[in-house]
Amino acid sequence: MEKHKLLGIDIGGSGIKGAIVDIKKGKLLTERHRIETPKPSTPMAVAHVVRELVEHFAWDGPVGCGFPAVVRHGVALTAANISRKWIGTNAEELFHETTDLPFAVLNDADAAALAEMRYGAGKGKKGVTFLITIGTGIGTALFLEDKLLPNTELGHLHLPGNKQDAEYFASDAARKRGDLSWSAWGKRFDQYLNYVYHLFYPDRFVIGGGASKKFDKFEAFITVPVPVLPAQLLNQAGIVGAALSAEHLNKK
Ligand code: BGC
């Protein structure tokens, strides 16, 4: 096993994707392989898909895995867009038992942000970077230089006057659900950005997730007074960052 190669897996509400990653370069060494997220997305059902991915790549080393919930020391503590049966499950242990490989599991937005900070839009940046992934939910990650404060769940803030979580109002799923134009959605997202800006005063924002590919469509509606940068690794960030998180397991 070469030290700089790791398997990265990104578990999402609709798909579970993996690839072998060169963590020196932050690049995928294989095609991404995607399997639909099982319904219901119970721990056992997801663990079987994780095993399928490991077998697909004939992988025999450490695996890093992004997971769409709070994950503290390998244990899922919440479950917004995944089966509630995950709450309290030690994902690292479960995946290890299912595949016999060592696993590092972390929040999906934290994983994507690790990749953006190491290789992408946040590379070498000073001060505080606030990263947001816009997809089925809104994931957030907060960095001071290259140091992550894990498990910030700021997609669940309530904007003033709103009864629902901000992600219900401003995620990509909200745009699709409401059939919103880019201007209508862009203004909503800008409201969210301004709200978090005035709570954290970061030096910059980095916007990732599915919507980062469409950044040019809503960039014009953004009014926060700091740079807002599109993520550079696009849909690979989750997989690359997941692989990075397993770096410490690769002792060979
Ligand atoms: C979850 C976060 C996750 C985000 C993106 C939110 O609903 O609470 O943990 O990072 O969705 O998947």
Clarify whether residues 125 and 224 are in a common domain.
yes
Clarify whether residues 104 and 125 are in a common domain.
no
CA of 111 to the centre of ligand 1 (A): 12
Domain annotation covers residue 9: yes
Clarify whether residues 82 and 14 are in a common domain.
yes
Residue 32: predicted pLDDT: 97
Clarify whether residues 227 and 203 are in a common domain.
yes
Domain annotation covers residue 241: no
Find the distance separating the first CA and the last CA of the chain, reported in whole Å: 7
In degrees and rounded to multiples of 5, residue 88 shows phi and psi of 90, -5
Contact 250, 3 (CB under 8 A): yes
Residue 196: predicted pLDDT: 98
Contact 137, 155 (CB under 8 A): yes
Clarify whether residues 81 and 137 are in a common domain.
no
| Residue 95 DSSP class | H
Does ligand 1 come within 6 angstroms of the Cβ of 66? no
CA of 38 to the centre of ligand 1 (A): 18
pLDDT digits (tens, 9 = 90+) for 66-116: 999 999 999 999 998 899 999 999 999 999 999 999 999 999 999 999 999
Nearest protein Cα to ligand 1, atom 6: 137
User: Rounded to whole angstroms, how far apart are CA atoms 165 and 7?
Assistant: 33
Clarify whether residues 134 and 224 are in a common domain.
yes
Nearest protein Cα to ligand 1, atom 1: 69
CA of 135 to the centre of ligand 1 (A): 9
CA of 70 to the centre of ligand 1 (A): 8
Contact 9, 50 (CB under 8 A): yes
- Ligand 1 atom nearest the C-alpha of 12 is 12
Clarify whether residues 62 and 144 are in a common domain.
no
CA of 153 to the centre of ligand 1 (A): 7
Domain annotation covers residue 130: yes
Clarify whether residues 16 and 80 are in a common domain.
yes
pLDDT digits (tens, 9 = 90+) for 15-36: 999 999 999 999 999 999 999 9
What's the CATH code of the domain at 49?
3.30.420.40
pLDDT digits (tens, 9 = 90+) for 190-239: 999 999 999 999 999 999 998 888 999 999 999 999 999 999 998 899 99
For every residue of 54-82, DSSP letters joined together read: HHHTT--S-EEEEESS-EETTEE---SSS
User: Rounded to whole angstroms, how far apart are CA atoms 49 and 16?
Assistant: 8
CA of 45 to the centre of ligand 1 (A): 19
Clarify whether residues 177 and 197 are in a common domain.
yes
**Domain boundary residue, one of 81, 109, 137:** 109
Does ligand 1 come within 6 angstroms of the Cβ of 171? no
Query: pTM for the full model?
Result: 0.97
Please give the residue range of the domain that contains residue 9. Answer: 5-109
User: Rounded to whole angstroms, how far apart are CA atoms 223 and 160?
Assistant: 18
Question: Which residues, including other chains, have CB under 8 Å from residue 27's CB and lie 6 or more apart?
Answer: 21, 240
User: Rounded to whole angstroms, how far apart are CA atoms 58 and 48?
Assistant: 15
Nearest protein Cα to ligand 1, atom 10: 139
Query: Domains in the chain: how many in total?
Result: 2
